[in-house]
Structure 1
Amino acid sequence: MNSSSYLLHSTCPSCGAEIGIHSATAVTAVCGYCHSVLLINQNKLVQSGRHSAVLNDLSPLQIGTTGVWQGKPFTLIGRMQVNYDAGSWNEWHALMHDGSSAWLSEANDRFVFTRLQPAPPDLRALPEFSNLKIGNTFFKYKERRYAVADIRDIQRGQYAAEGELPIPLPQSETARVADCRNGASFITLDYSDGEAQPQVFAGKGIALKSLRLQNTRTPEQIRTRAGHVKGSAKRGKCPNCGGEIRWVSGVADYVVCQYCRSQLDMGEETAQLHATSEMRQHQERHLTIKIGSRARIGNESWWVLGAMVLYEVPVNKVMHDVPLYIQVAEHEETEAETLGWTEYLLYSPKKGFLWLLELENNQWALASTLDDWPTLNRPLEPIDFRKDEIPFLYDYAAHVLYAVGAFYWQVAPGDSMYYVDYGCEQRKLSTTLTQNEQSWSVVSSIPASLVAAWFKDNKNISIKAKPLSADKAVKIVHEHQRLKAKDFTIGNIRKWRLQAFIKPDIDVRTVEFWMVLFIILNLPIFIFIGGLDDNDFGITSLIFHFITYGLLVKIPYWTWGIFEYTDSAKKYNPYLAALIVIIFTWCNYAIYISDKEAGTSTDSHYYGGSGGRWHK
C-alpha cells in the first residue's frame, strides 16, 4: 500500500516513527518500530502506556497482503495474536474495498473469514457460555442451527497486535470464545464482554488458494524474520535425555521425544522442556513408518511429522452421556483394551496435512480434516442434500498410548477421543470429539500396495505388499483429496458399496488373474468330461492350457508395428491377454462340441441310452 491511501498520517508519540492509518474505523494502532500500542482519538495518536509485539511465526500472511473474498477485494491491515497454554491463533483485520472490516482467523492451518454481526433482537436465543458442550449443544441462529466445534476458556492468555485494529486491544488475560459450525456456515461467539451477550462473527471456512492472495510473505522474508522457511526440516537434542529430535519448523509447535516421551515446545527455535512423562516404558512398540521418512505421492514429497499410537477403550470411559440416537449398542465395562491402531501425520508444503492410518492385519486408510462440515440434523447426525440421514456405522473411543514426532497441537499420552463413523467401510464420514473440540473428517480405505508404492524408495520401511503402479496410486490419492462432506449421499454410498462388491482390488495386469479366469471359463468342460478319459479331448484341453499359460507369461504387446515380449507388469497388455483367453477358450469349446457330435454318431453306446452319462 502506498502513502496516498492513508486517511491519517502522523508520527508515533513514543519513538517518532512515521505511521499511516488506512481504516476510518480503526481505534488502535501498533507502532511497527517500538511496538507501542496507540489509541486513535480525534485524528490523533495517543499513547496507551502499553507495548505489544507479536511472536515471530511463519504465516504466509502479512500486513499489506491483498485478496478477494466473495467477489470483494480486501487488504490485511492489522493482526491480533492470542497466546495461551495450549497454543495460539491469529486474527487478521481485513479492510474491505468498501471501507468495512472483516476478520481472517488463522489457527492450526485452518482459515475462516468472518464479519461482526448486528446484535440479535433476542439474545436469549443464544446459549450461555457455561451451557456450551461439545457434541450436545445445538442452537438456532438466523434460520440455521449450529453445533459447537471448539470451546476456548482461556484464563492466562496473552494478547499481542500489529498494524490497525477496529477494536481496543483487550486488557484482560481471560478469553471465552466458541466456534460453531453447520455445513459451510461458521460463527464465532465471543463472550468476552459478558456471558449472556456474546458478539457474533459469521462467515465460512476457506482455503487460502480461493482468496487469490497477493503480496504474501516470500521464503526470503520468512528467513529474514524467523530464521528458517516454513516447512523446513529441523534437528536438535532433547533437553531431557539428549536424544535426537526432528520437527518441521513453522508447522508443528509441539514435539514428543521418541526416546523419553518428553513433551517439548518448539515455539522459539530451541526445544524447551514442557513436561516429562514416564521414561521409555512404551518405547518397545515398533512403528512401521519411521518419523522423518518421506513419501512420494505423485509429484509431491510428503514428510512423516509424527505418529500417535492409540488403543480402543469402552465409550463410557470417555463419553459419559452418549446421545441415545448414537448409542445403538450397549458398551460393556469389561471390553478388552487391546484393539489399537497408529495414526501418522504427513505434511506437504504445497498440499498441507494428511493422516495415514495403520489398522490391524495390514489394513490402511487415509483421513483428511474438512474445512466445510456436513449439514447436521443434530450435533452428531449428518444428513445429505435430500435431508436423509447418512447411514450410521459405529461409535468407539480411544486413548493415546504414546506419541512421537511433531504435531500442530499439543498431544500427550492419556488424551481421550470419541469417534462416530458414518457412510460405508470404503468411504467414511467421521467425527472426532474431545472435551473442548469437535472436527469432521473424510476417511478412505486404501490397499497396502498403495502405501508400499509411497515408500518404495525407503529401505528402512517394509510394507507387506507389492507396490501399486504409479498412475493408479496417484488416482486413489486424488479421489480421496477431492472427497467432501457433500459427497456422502445415500446414492453415492450405495455406489461405493457396489463398487467394492463387484470390483475388488484385483490387478488385471498379472498372469495369475488371466490364468485363473481361463480356468474358470473352461471348468464346465472338465466337469462334463470328468477330466481325462479314454478320448483325446482331455489331453488336447490340457495342451491348450499349457499353451495359454506360456503366452500369458510371455505376452506380446504392440509398439511401432513390432511384437516384443516382456515380464513387466507396467507394460503388461490386458487387452491382448483377454484376446488370448477368448481365443483358446473358444477353441476348447469348439473341439469339445466337435468331439461330442462325432461321439454321438459313432459311439452312441457311450453317450446315449439310460446307461450313458448324458442324455441328448
Structure 2
Amino acid sequence: MFSTSCPQCGAPLEFRSAAAVMAVCESCRSTLLKRGEAVERIGEMASVFEDYSPLQLGATGHYASRLFTLLGRIQLRYDAGYWTEWYASFDDGTFAWLSDASGQYAITTQKNLEGNDSALPRFDSLSPGTPFDFDGKRYLASDIRTAQCVGGEGELPFRVGDGWQARVADFRYEDRFITLDYSDADPQAGKPVVYEGESVELASLACQGLRDEAQIRESAGRYRGELAAFTCPSCGASLDCPAGVANYVICGSCHAGVDCSAEQATLFSKKRSVEAIETALQLGAGATFDGAKYTVLGLMRCRTSDAESSWDEYLLHNLERGFLWLVHSEGSWERVDVLNRWPMIGQDGQVLEAGKTYRERERYDAEVVYVAGAFNWRVQVGDKTSITDFAWRDFKMTRETTADEIVWSRAKPLSNSKVAERFGVPELSGGTASGAAESAGGGAAGKSEGPRKGAFGPWPWIATFAMAFINFNKLFEFDGSTVLVIVGMVALWAPEWIWRAVHEDSHVSRKGASRSTSR
C-alpha cells in the first residue's frame, strides 16, 4: 500500500493496489498519476452519476477461488446507453474488470499472449458476427463500441484523462467472453489488450459489503424502481421514469426521446409527429410470470421493411428478475427472454441450445415505427434491425443484428387465455380486437388458439396400429405386399404431416425487434 496526500487539497490518499497507476481524490475529484513515490495532478474527473448498483468501493467477493476487492470504477457512455467497469484487485496482486450493464454482470482478466498476437484484428475491421479463434474456441463479435468516459472514482490501472475514449469489442462463446480493448492501442499497429472471462450472476461472487436498498435510497433520494416524475423538456408533459431501471423515456404526447440518466433530463431525439395506435396492453399494466409481478415499462410497434407484416413488443420488468418481453403478432403471443448464454452454431448453420436443434426459418429486416414508455437503452422511431428466426416446433430462437451488436433471444408461445389470466384482463382471451381494446386501451388482440399438438388427435396412431395388426405377417415378407402396407401407413400420416408443416409456418411468423443488452 502506498500512502500520500493530494497535491491539490491535501486530503490523504492511498494506493491499495500495486497495479494502480492513477487515483481520483475523493475530496476534490483531482485525477492523480502515480510517479514512483510521488503523485502528479493531471486533471479532474467528473463525479459518477447514481446508477443504483449494489456494488461500491471496498466491496469484496470471490472469483476462481480468489478474493478480490473493488478499488475503482469508470462509467462509460456510448450513443445508445452506458455501462460501468469496476476495477477489482485480487489478493495475489493481479486484477480483473467486473462490468455492470443494467444488472448484467461479466468478469474478465487480462491474458498474456506471449508474443502470439499476430492474429489480432484491427478495430476498424470488426463488425458484429466477426469470428475470432482463441484458445481452441471460435468466438463471435457480439458488440463493438466506442464509448466516452463520463465519470470515475477510486484507483485505476491506467491513465484516464479528459476526452478519454474506450474502444472495445466483445466476443461471445456460450457464456464465455473475450474483450479486445483498443483504448490505448497504437492507431497504426492496432494491437489491443486481450481480456478473457464470462457472464456471471452477482450472487455467485459471494460479495460482502454491497449497498443495501436503504443505502441506495440515502444516496439517490429514492429506491431503485421507484417512479421519478419529471416534465418533458420538449412539450412539458408529465412523465415518469423508474429510477435505476430505465434511463430513456419516449414522451407519449410529443414522442420526443428523453435521457434521464443525469440529474437534468435532456432530449436525445426531437419531437415527432407520429400517428396514434391502439395496443392490446397499456403502459403500467401488471402481470405475474414465474410467481413474480412484472410491469409494462415500454412498448414498440415494428414492421418488416416491405411493410407486409407488423407486430407489437412490450418491455416488462421485475426488480428481482430483471427484464422480459412479450410479442403480439397476428393474434398470437410469445414470451421472449434475452440470452446471457449464447447458443452454439453448427457447421450447417443450425442453432443448438439445451439439446434442441433450431433450423433457420426466416430472415428479414425490421424497423421501429412507434415507441412509447421507458427503456434501458436508447430506442427511437426509425431504428432498424436485421433478424433471423430459427424454429424448433413451436419455439423460436432469434438473432438480431445492428451495426454495433448482436442479441440472441428465445421465444415460446403463450395462448390468449394465459395472457388474459396473467394480466387479469379476461377480454384478452377473446377473439376480437374490440374486446381487448375496451379493457386494455388497445386493439389488435386477434384470436389465438395457442399451439396444438396435432390436427387429427390420436386417429393416425389408431389406424396405424390397426393396419400393422391386420397385415402383421405381410410386414416381414419383404415383397410387393410389404411395400403396399408401408405406402398405406404413409398415406395415413400424410394429412397430419401436412397440417403440422402449415401450422408451424403460420405460427412462426415474422416477429422480432431490437432488444438491446445495453452494452
> Helix, strand or coil for the counterpart of 1:501?
coil
Q: State the Cα distance separating 1:441 from its structure 2 match.
A: 1.1
Q: State the Cα distance separating 1:381 from its structure 2 match.
A: 5.2
Matching residue of 1:168 = 159
Residue 347 (str. 1) matches residue 317 (str. 2): yes
**Distance in 1 between the 2:13 and 2:219 partners?**
21
1:327-362 deviation per Cα after TM superposition (whole angstroms, max 9, x unaligned): xxxxxxxx5x1311111111111001111111112x
Residue 403 (str. 1) matches residue 368 (str. 2): no
Amino acid at match of 1:178: A
**Distance in 2 between the 1:354 and 1:161 partners?**
31
Matching residue of 1:116 = 110
**Distance in 1 between the 2:161 and 2:107 partners?**
21
> Helix, strand or coil for the counterpart of 1:286?
coil
Amino acid at match of 2:297: L
**Distance in 2 between the 1:214 and 1:255 partners?**
34
Amino acid at match of 2:311: W
Matching residue of 1:365 = 334
Q: State the Cα distance separating 1:304 from its structure 2 match.
A: 0.9
Matching residue of 2:88 = 94
1:469-528 deviation per Cα after TM superposition (whole angstroms, max 9, x unaligned): xxxxxxxxxxxxxxxxxxxxxxxxxxxxxx952699x9xxxxxxxxxxxxxxxxxxxxxx
Matching residue of 1:376 = 345
Matching residue of 1:552 = none
Matching residue of 1:146 = 139
Amino acid at match of 2:3: H
How many equivalent residue pairs?
Answer: 437
User: How has the CA–CA distance of structure 1 residues 379 and 105 changed in structure 2, closer, same or farther, with 3 Å as cutoff?
Assistant: farther
Matching residue of 1:268 = 262
> Helix, strand or coil for the counterpart of 2:372?
strand
1:188-587 equivalence runs, <5 A: 188-192=179-183, 193-195=185-187, 196-279=190-273, 281-283=274-276, 285-297=277-289, 299-313=291-305, 335=306, 337-361=307-331, 363-377=332-346, 382-383=351-352, 390-456=358-424, 462-465=427-430, 501=453
Amino acid at match of 1:354: L
Highest RCO, 1 vs 2 (Cα 8 Å, sep ≥ 6): 2
**Distance in 2 between the 1:200 and 1:40 partners?**
24
**Distance in 1 between the 2:17 and 2:312 partners?**
49
Q: Is the 8 A contact 1:425 1:445 kept in 2?
A: no
User: How has the CA–CA distance of structure 1 residues 173 and 310 changed in structure 2, closer, same or farther, with 3 Å as cutoff?
Assistant: same
Q: Is the 8 A contact 1:182 1:376 kept in 2?
A: no
Q: State the Cα distance separating 1:287 from its structure 2 match.
A: 1.8
Matching residue of 2:61 = 67
Q: Is the 8 A contact 2:255 2:372 kept in 1?
A: yes
**Distance in 2 between the 1:233 and 1:276 partners?**
23
Amino acid at match of 1:90: T
> Helix, strand or coil for the counterpart of 2:75?
strand
User: How has the CA–CA distance of structure 1 residues 392 and 299 changed in structure 2, closer, same or farther, with 3 Å as cutoff?
Assistant: closer
1:268-294 deviation per Cα after TM superposition (whole angstroms, max 9, x unaligned): 244323322422x321x1121111222
**Distance in 2 between the 1:130 and 1:21 partners?**
36
> Helix, strand or coil for the counterpart of 1:10?
strand
Matching residue of 1:533 = none
Amino acid at match of 1:132: L
User: How has the CA–CA distance of structure 1 residues 96 and 502 changed in structure 2, closer, same or farther, with 3 Å as cutoff?
Assistant: farther
TM-score (norm 1): 0.66
Matching residue of 1:596 = none
> Helix, strand or coil for the counterpart of 1:123?
coil
Matching residue of 1:555 = none
Residue 179 (str. 1) matches residue 170 (str. 2): yes
Gaps of 5+ in 1: 1-6, 314-334, 467-498, 507-616
Matching residue of 2:119 = 125
Q: State the Cα distance separating 1:378 from its structure 2 match.
A: 6.8
**Distance in 2 between the 1:296 and 1:50 partners?**
47
User: How has the CA–CA distance of structure 1 residues 299 and 254 changed in structure 2, closer, same or farther, with 3 Å as cutoff?
Assistant: same
Q: State the Cα distance separating 1:220 from its structure 2 match.
A: 2.2
Q: Is the 8 A contact 1:306 1:345 kept in 2?
A: yes
Matching residue of 1:572 = none
Amino acid at match of 1:453: E
Q: Is the 8 A contact 1:30 1:52 kept in 2?
A: no
1:511-561 deviation per Cα after TM superposition (whole angstroms, max 9, x unaligned): xxxxxxxxxxxxxxxxxxxxxxxxxxxxxxxxxxxxxxxxxxxxxxxxxxx
> Taking every aligned residue pair, what percent have the same amino acid on both sides?
34
1:252-308 deviation per Cα after TM superposition (whole angstroms, max 9, x unaligned): 1111111211111111244323322422x321x112111122223354221211001
**Distance in 1 between the 2:69 and 2:350 partners?**
38
Q: State the Cα distance separating 1:422 from its structure 2 match.
A: 1.9
Find the structure with the greater CA-based Rg.
1
Where is the helix percentage greater, Structure 1 or Structure 2?
1
Q: State the Cα distance separating 1:18 from its structure 2 match.
A: 2.5
Q: State the Cα distance separating 1:106 from its structure 2 match.
A: 1.6
> Helix, strand or coil for the counterpart of 1:222?
helix
**Distance in 1 between the 2:455 and 2:289 partners?**
24
Q: State the Cα distance separating 1:213 from its structure 2 match.
A: 2.0
**Distance in 1 between the 2:73 and 2:381 partners?**
34
Gaps of 5+ in 2: 432-450, 458-519
**Distance in 2 between the 1:187 and 1:389 partners?**
26
Q: State the Cα distance separating 1:113 from its structure 2 match.
A: 0.4
User: How has the CA–CA distance of structure 1 residues 235 and 451 changed in structure 2, closer, same or farther, with 3 Å as cutoff?
Assistant: farther
**Distance in 2 between the 1:109 and 1:341 partners?**
28
Q: State the Cα distance separating 1:435 from its structure 2 match.
A: 1.1
Q: State the Cα distance separating 1:452 from its structure 2 match.
A: 1.0
> Helix, strand or coil for the counterpart of 1:463?
helix
TM-score (norm 2): 0.78
Amino acid at match of 1:346: L
**Distance in 1 between the 2:409 and 2:78 partners?**
26
